[in-house]
Amino acid sequence: MTEPLSFEKSRPNVHAPRLPDAGVAAAEVGDVLPPELLRSQAPALPRLSEPEVMRHYSRLASMNYSISEQFYPLGSCTMKYNPVANEAAASLPGFTTLHPYQDEETVQGALELMWRLEQALCAVVGVDRVTLQPAAGAHGEWTALRMIQAFHRSRGEARTEVLVPDSAHGTNPASAALSGFQVVEVASGPDGRISLADLEAKLSSRVAALMLTNPNTLGLFEREILDIAELVHNTGAKLYYDGANLNALMGVCRPGDMGFDAVHMNLHKTFTTPHGGGGPGAGPVGVKADLVPFLPTPTVERTNGHLKLDFKRPQSIGRVRSFYGNFGMLVRAYTYIVAMGGDGLTQASMDAVLSANYLRKRVEGLLDLPHEGPCMHEFVASARNLAPNGIKALDVAKGLLERDFYAPTIYFPLVVPEAIMVEPTETESKPTLDAFADAIAEIVIEAKEDPEKLHHEPHSLPVGRLDEVATARRINAYLQGQSEDPILRWKPVRD
């Protein structure tokens, strides 16, 4: 790193900016807080002048890579442009000054927004009701599985298994396991789609649900979805749709119409609310009528234009998030939907699929394409054709970083060796897609002519090639008690 930590730059005699007096006397603090909770020493915070602090953070920000400057071809992640209009709406004082404990009579506008967003999402995915509470996609999966579990229990059935295809996103088996289900894997066939024979073999009266995503994580549409739905429903199980990425479908077809009973959506992917960096997301869940009684409380109800929160839902799985979910994300997603309109959302899907197919065609012959096209909103290539040159998917990704692109998702899905998963989204222009394809072409030439050079990229970024092997070895040794704590954070030197 070229920028030292603020702690390292700290100078003991610098005066901090002067702040207005807090108006609380030390004696009063002692009255309200127990003495054992009061500090005896000032915290060891760095001391820098105001311009030094500002320059420190500006320099760090300039080392960052972000969607506002560059392209993220991150498969299964839908990193599209976040429209500034969303931010303008979310920062309206009527939204930013709300308090979650306000009486519902005083927040009718906020409730109306939630109600309308629910209607819009119901229309996009074809379900009867939506809960906006879950804070992320994985949280939505978990919420939906709890509802499915409650549904089966209400009928006196203790179903213990959840089926998950081998190409599924890792959160699917994790959510099922966290809900107390046993995860049973279903194999993909050679065409990258779920094997109906294996599905039939694994279906039984023990199965609570099949979790699917369509198009699947290889970017392929499961053409036999109606047969799959019938097989699953015939055994009394529910069909769950991982709708983290709806970018191929909006306005074209709906999970509800394909026979899915529950769907989660990632507002921070398809609906342009910012994501990455662990910031707040939102993973609403839509359900068909059968599952509606089990929705988390409260639901937002509207009668004759008056809105209220309904807490009296005896079969509800309860609250899954404090208050009403990440409200700011709901405002952004609603703004996006209204700005786009139904036609705009349909166009976005068409363009996303076109972009993916265009890029897929452009990398044909450069990387392996293990599955036949066309693809939907993303495609999976493989770097295994570069194995004879000693080049792996990781090297291609690092070469892209060197050429000022974010790296695509690599080594996922697990069913493709040396996977490179690309999702360009609809918000990227043809020149950007071409520049990306040109960069891949350049990397493939370098892989063949000078693989050693590629092994050492990137050179031009604040952080170069990390020694991942040594890191893994060291962390493993630490976990097995054979070495000291790896140094993962800065600690002050105590004298």
Ligand X SMILES: *Cc1c(COP(=O)(O)O)cnc(C)c1O
Q: Is the peptide bond before 458 cis (omega within 30 degrees of 0)?
A: yes
The yes or no reply on residue 167 touching ligand X (CB under 6 A) is no
Phi, psi of 183 (to 5 degrees): -90, 125
The yes or no reply on residue 377 touching ligand X (CB under 6 A) is no
**Beta-strand runs (E) in 201-317:** 207-212, 238-243, 262-265, 285-287, 299-303, 306-310
The yes or no reply on residue 175 touching ligand X (CB under 6 A) is no
Closer by beta carbon to ligand X, 137 or else 424: 137
Closest distance of CB 281 from ligand X, Å: 5
- Spatial CA neighbour of 186 closest among 213, 152, 155: 213
383 in Cβ contact with 367 (< 8 Å): yes
Q: Site map for ligand X, 77-96, x if CB under 6 A? A: x-------------------
3-state DSSP assignment of residue 382: strand
The yes or no reply on residue 138 touching ligand X (CB under 6 A) is yes
Closest distance of CB 355 from ligand X, Å: 17
The yes or no reply on residue 213 touching ligand X (CB under 6 A) is yes
The yes or no reply on residue 283 touching ligand X (CB under 6 A) is yes
Closer by beta carbon to ligand X, 140 or else 399: 140
Phi, psi of 164 (to 5 degrees): -135, 125
Candidate segments 135-143, 149-157, 351-359, 445-453, binder of ligand X by CB under 6 A: 135-143
The yes or no reply on residue 261 touching ligand X (CB under 6 A) is no
Cα dihedral sign for 343, 275, 165, 377?
Answer: positive
The yes or no reply on residue 274 touching ligand X (CB under 6 A) is no
Closer by beta carbon to ligand X, 406 or else 458: 406
> Which of 129, 169, 238, 398: binder of ligand X (CB under 6 A)?
169
Q: Which residue has its beta carbon closest to ligand X?
A: 137
Closest distance of CB 77 from ligand X, Å: 6
Q: Which residue has the tokens 């993909």?
A: 188
Closer by beta carbon to ligand X, 77 or else 90: 77
User: Which element (helix H / strand E) includes 118?
Assistant: helix 108-125
> Which of 148, 244, 380, 437: binder of ligand X (CB under 6 A)?
244
Tell me how many degrees the CA angle 474-477-479 measures, rounded to the nearest 5.
Answer: 110
Closer by beta carbon to ligand X, 321 or else 392: 321
> Which of 79, 114, 125, 136: binder of ligand X (CB under 6 A)?
136
Q: What is the DSSP string of 173-196?
A: HHHHHHTTPEEEEE-B-TTSSB-H
> Which of 48, 73, 76, 148: binder of ligand X (CB under 6 A)?
76
Query: For residue 176, what are the contacts with CB-CB under 8 A and spacing of at least 6?
Result: 141, 145, 162, 164, 183, 211
Longest dimension (CA), the chain: 75
Candidate segments 89-97, 198-206, 239-247, 472-480, binder of ligand X by CB under 6 A: 239-247
Closer by beta carbon to ligand X, 282 or else 444: 282
Closest distance of CB 135 from ligand X, Å: 8
Burial 378-415 (b: 16+ CB within 10 A, else e): bbbbbbbbbeebebbbbbbbbbbbbbebbbbbbebbeb
Tokens of 26: 């030390």
413 in Cβ contact with 454 (< 8 Å): no
The yes or no reply on residue 248 touching ligand X (CB under 6 A) is no
Give the binding-site size for ligand X (rule: CB under 6 A). 15
> Which of 245, 335, 349, 355: binder of ligand X (CB under 6 A)?
245
Chain centroid offset of residue 245 CA: 9
147 in Cβ contact with 262 (< 8 Å): yes
Cα dihedral sign for 272, 378, 342, 266?
Answer: negative
Residue 59, number of CB atoms within 10 A of its CB: 12
The yes or no reply on residue 266 touching ligand X (CB under 6 A) is yes
The yes or no reply on residue 281 touching ligand X (CB under 6 A) is yes
Closer by beta carbon to ligand X, 213 or else 299: 213
Closer by beta carbon to ligand X, 136 or else 391: 136
The yes or no reply on residue 137 touching ligand X (CB under 6 A) is yes
Q: Which residue has the tokens 């394909």?
A: 258
The yes or no reply on residue 132 touching ligand X (CB under 6 A) is no
Tell me how many degrees the CA angle 318-270-261 measures, rounded to the nearest 5.
Answer: 45
Q: Site map for ligand X, 402-441, x if CB under 6 A? A: ----------------------------------------
Tokens of 329: 């994300």
Closer by beta carbon to ligand X, 71 or else 142: 142
Closer by beta carbon to ligand X, 275 or else 288: 275
Closest distance of CB 49 from ligand X, Å: 39
Footprint of ligand X on this chain (CB under 6 A)? 76-77, 136-138, 169, 171, 213, 217, 242, 244-245, 266, 281, 283
